[in-house]
Structure 1
C-alpha cells in the first residue's frame, strides 16, 4: 500500500487507540494525565475486538497505534495485537519505558505480529530524561527496551517532546536515535493539554530554527524524521528548496510515511472509553465507538469534515498559501482559543496578504483548565 494513495476523506492514515490511561509514570508532558489505576469503563477485550472489526472496514492494512497511558498496563495488549494482525490491520505500539517492557514481552509482541515499537526519549542523558519523566531509572529502562526491540528484529521509532525544557537536548537525542538504530524520529511540538499545560512551549521563532535544523538532520541521518503537531515543517522543507518529500529509503516495516496529516484529516484518536477525537491533543468528541461505527464518525461527523477543509480555517492560516500542504496544528489552535479552526500560534510565518491579528501562545489558567 502506497501511503500517498490514501484518500484521507475516507480513512485515516493513523488511527490511535488509547487502550488505557493507567501508567506507572507521571511524565510532565502527559496528554492523558495518566493515572495509577485502570478505569473500570475501559473498552473490554470483547468490545475492543468488535472495534477492530469496524476499523477493518476502512480497508485492508489500516494502521492502528495502541497507546496510553501505558498500553501494557492491560494484560490483553498482545491478544489485541494478534487479533488485529489476523484481520489485516497493521498494529503498532507506544508503551511506556517501565519494567513491564521485558525482552520476553517484546518478543511476544513481535510474535503476535507487531509492526513497530515507539519509545519516548526526552533527554540526552539519564539525568535529563528521568527528570522530565519524573521516574528514576526510566532512561535505563527505555535503553534496555530499545536494545530488546533491536534483538527481536522489530522496527524502532523514537518519540521526543519539544518544549523549553527539552529543546537544548535535541542534538544529543538525535545521536541516541542513530545509535539505537531507529527507523524514525518523531518530534512532537508541545500542545498544552493534560499535564503539559504546566510546561513552557518554545517561541515561534525558535520553532522555526528547530525545524530548519530537523530538515538538515532528515537529509543526513540514517533514520527518517517526522514532526507531530507541527505541520508547518512542510512549509519549511518547501522553503529550503527540496520539496515536501524527504529522499529517504522505504521504511523496512512497510508502514511508510504520509505527508499532509493533521487532526481529523488522516488522523483519528479513540479514547480508553471509546470516545472519538480528531487527535488526542484535541479533546473535542465527535462520537463514541460503542454507539456508532468509527468509519461513520470519521467520514461523516461535522467536526471531522470541517477539519478536512483548508478553506474553513480562520486568521492567517485561512489565507496562507501553504494551507493545503500545512494547515497548522488544529490541536494547538483549540488549546489556545477553544476553536480548532483558528490559527496555529506556534507558526512564525505571516502570509504577505494578511494584516489581521496574530495568534498568541498564551492563555489564562481558567482557560487552560477548560481543556479537561
Structure 2
C-alpha cells in the first residue's frame, strides 16, 4: 500500500520550510519486520460482487475455523509480533466468531481493522462495532448509486453502505472508502472523491484491479493504462490539496506498486528539488509487500502471501503455527518474495526503479503468464519513464 498523503505532506512541509523533513526514527526488529495479517474469518457473504477475489456467496462454507482455533491463532500472532489485524470475509459481520475475535484482539493490543461491504450495518450494528473498539473500518464503494449497485448485484447497496459510513463516523470511528478502478466504473472516480470530501470521510483507498477470483474473470475489462494514469493524477492532486491545506484526509493506493514510481515523477515535474529525498523515502518503503509486510489467513486456516494468492497455499494453521509457516522459506514462491532483490525477469528485471516498486504485483504476472517472476503486465509506465535502456541492434 502506498501512503500517498504521507509523502505529499512531507513535500508540502519542504515547500513551506525549504527543508525536507527528517525520516521518522524506526527500530529494527530482530528477525525482520512482522506482517500485517488480513484474516478472512468467513467466506460467506450476502453479496456476489463482480470483482470478489474470494468468490463468496451467501451460504455456509464447511471446514471453517471454529472459535477456539481462532483464539489460539490470535495468541500465536501476538507472540510472533504481528502488529495489526484486518478482519475481512466474505462479509465478516456474518461470522459467528467476529465479536470474540475482536474482543480478544483488543485485549492483546493489536491495531484492529474491519473490512465490510456495510450493507448489514444498521444503528444497532454500528453501536456494536463501536463498542468493540475497531481502530478503522473500511467500506467499499465502487461508484455512485447505479454503478455500485450493479457491481454489488444488489439494488440499494449504495444507500446502505453510505448510511453505514455515516453511522460509524457519527459514533467516532475512523472510517474509509475503498474503491477498485476498472473500465466499468472509471467514470465514477471523480464523483466519489467529491463524495468523500462532502461526507468528510477520513480515508480513501484506491485499489487497482488485481487478477484474482472474480477479478481474474473480468481482467479483460481492467481500465487501460491511459485511464489509470489519469486516475492517479487526479488522486495525487486530491492528496496534494489536502496536504497543502493541512486537511486530515488520507489517500492511499494498492495493488499496483508502480504508483510509487509514478508519484516520484509527478513530484519531480512540479518540485524537482524534492525528488531525491522523496526517492529515498520510496526506496525505504520498498513497494510490493506480499510475503513480507502483509499476510493472509483464509477462512479455512490456510496461509497465503496476501489475499490475492488464494491459489497458492503455504500451510494450515491447524497443523503448524502461523509463525512457523511464515518463516518457512522452503516454499519457492515465499523464498523469492522475501529475497532482495527478487528474482525478476523480463522488463521488471531490467528496470532501474525496482528498488521502489519491489517488482510490483507478482500475482498479476503469474495469472497472465504462468510465471510469478515475469514482468508485471499492470505496470503503466513507459520504458523511457522508468529509465530502461535498450541496446542498439
Normalised by the length of structure 1, the TM-score is 0.85
Aligned-pair Cα RMSD in Å: 2.3
- Quote the residue 1:92 is aligned against: 113
Q: Does 1:340 align with 2:372?
A: yes
Contact 2:352–2:388 (CA under 8 A) maintained in structure 1: no
Q: Does 1:82 align with 2:82?
A: no
Hey, what's the Cα distance between the residues in 1 that align with 2:108 and 2:90?
25
1:115-264 equivalence runs, <5 A: 115-123=135-143, 125-199=144-218, 200-221=221-242, 222=247, 223-241=249-267, 260-264=287-291
1:301-340 equivalence runs, <5 A: 301=329, 302=331, 303-309=333-339, 310-326=341-357, 327-340=359-372
Contact 1:101–1:145 (CA under 8 A) maintained in structure 2: yes
SS of the equivalent of 1:177 reads helix
Moved more, 15-24 or 180-189: 180-189
- Quote the residue 2:93 is aligned against: 72
Which of these two proteins has the greater Rg computed from alpha carbons? 2
Hey, what's the Cα distance between the residues in 2 that align with 1:34 and 1:3?
42
- Quote the residue 2:121 is aligned against: 101
Pick the aligned partner of 1:52 from 74, 82, 93.
74
Moved more, 174-183 or 42-51: 174-183
Hey, what's the Cα distance between the residues in 2 that align with 1:344 and 1:17?
26
The 3 A distance-change label for structure 1 pair 324 and 78 is same
Hey, what's the Cα distance between the residues in 1 that align with 2:126 and 2:334?
35
| Aligned residue pair count | 341
1:6-48 deviations in Å (ceiling 9; x for gaps): 7697344421000111111111111111121121211111111
Hey, what's the Cα distance between the residues in 2 that align with 1:33 and 1:353?
38
The 3 A distance-change label for structure 1 pair 3 and 320 is farther
- Quote the residue 1:42 is aligned against: 64
Post-superposition shift, 1:152? 1.3
- Unmatched 5+ residue regions in structure 1? 247-257, 357-372
- Quote the residue 2:134 is aligned against: 114
The 3 A distance-change label for structure 1 pair 93 and 286 is same
- Quote the residue 1:272 is aligned against: 299
Hey, what's the Cα distance between the residues in 1 that align with 2:93 and 2:352?
43
Pick the aligned partner of 1:31 from 45, 50, 53.
53
Hey, what's the Cα distance between the residues in 1 that align with 2:138 and 2:278?
22
Hey, what's the Cα distance between the residues in 2 that align with 1:347 and 1:131?
28
Post-superposition shift, 1:104? 1.9
Moved more, 17-26 or 215-224: 215-224
The 3 A distance-change label for structure 1 pair 143 and 226 is same
Hey, what's the Cα distance between the residues in 1 that align with 2:30 and 2:142?
31
More helix by share: 2
- Unmatched 5+ residue regions in structure 2? 1-23, 268-273, 280-284
Hey, what's the Cα distance between the residues in 2 that align with 1:190 and 1:84?
30
The 3 A distance-change label for structure 1 pair 97 and 304 is same
SS of the equivalent of 1:135 reads coil
Post-superposition shift, 1:237? 1.2
Hey, what's the Cα distance between the residues in 2 that align with 1:71 and 1:8?
33
1:159-193 deviations in Å (ceiling 9; x for gaps): 10111011121101111222232222111111122
